[in-house]
Amino acid sequence: MDGMPAGARTNGDGPAPGSGVSRQLWDDDRGEVARNLLSSGVRCFAASGFHATTTRDITSAVGLSPGALYVHFRSKEHVLFEIIRTGHRRSLDVLGDDPADDASEHLRSLVRRFVAWHAHHHVVARVCQYELAALSPAHYEEIRELRRRSTATFQDAVTRGVAERSFADVDVHRVVRAILSLGVDLVRWYRSDGPDSPEQLGEFYADLALGMVTGARSSRSCPSVGGGGST
């Protein structure tokens, strides 16, 4: 179990095929054609899902023949894997590894950055969350490790606050699952032309997260719901 909640595709929620994808997501050492194919893959997978997307869909959107994809990637699944791996690496990188002196500010900073990143990159983040099941077992396990590292970063922050008595005696695993769920779920509905900027959402969700850990009622008193975790 990686601890991070995965999204569930709902009909009609996908972004428009023309949604923007930042070219800054992709590694600099990738050629321009490979970067274009990855960006096209993001748009196609986000709009139609992995299984409904064909190789021709991905390549024709950037003016190439289907065979051109195999010059740069082994398969359509390999395109998906590179997209999901890049998205998870970038969202992990944004968390950083330099905790603030104050436990509350450290948690707020993590949530603020995590949420803002997912809002800025909500199209690729949708693919990262909704198409995990299409990965090969080996690729899926590599992504799970990245997700475990993200989860551990938040767990360490909450555990620290509890130990320092800055936070209530909360159930760390439940609280972190709830915090991550907030950040992940926004990719389902967020639109760049909506009323909230990524930074505004980050601040709002950071306040919500702090409320979860500083409230008078301990989350340990909550009954178990469903008894399950996330995949």
Q: What tens digit of pLDDT does each residue of 98-141 get?
A: 777 899 999 999 999 999 999 999 999 999 999 999 999 999 99
**What is the pLDDT at residue 1?**
43
CATH dotted code for 76-218: 1.10.357.10
**What is the pLDDT at residue 14?**
40
* Mean pLDDT of the 82-111 span: 92
Distance CA 158, CA 107 (A): 7
**What is the pLDDT at residue 25?**
85
Instruction: Answer for the pair 210, 192: CB distance below 8 angstroms, yes or no.
Output: no
pTM of the model: 0.84
Q: What tens digit of pLDDT does each residue of 157-175 get?
A: 999 999 999 999 999 999 9
Nearest Cα residue to 181 out of 131, 132, 229 = 229
Q: What tens digit of pLDDT does each residue of 31-63 get?
A: 899 999 999 999 999 999 999 999 999 999 999
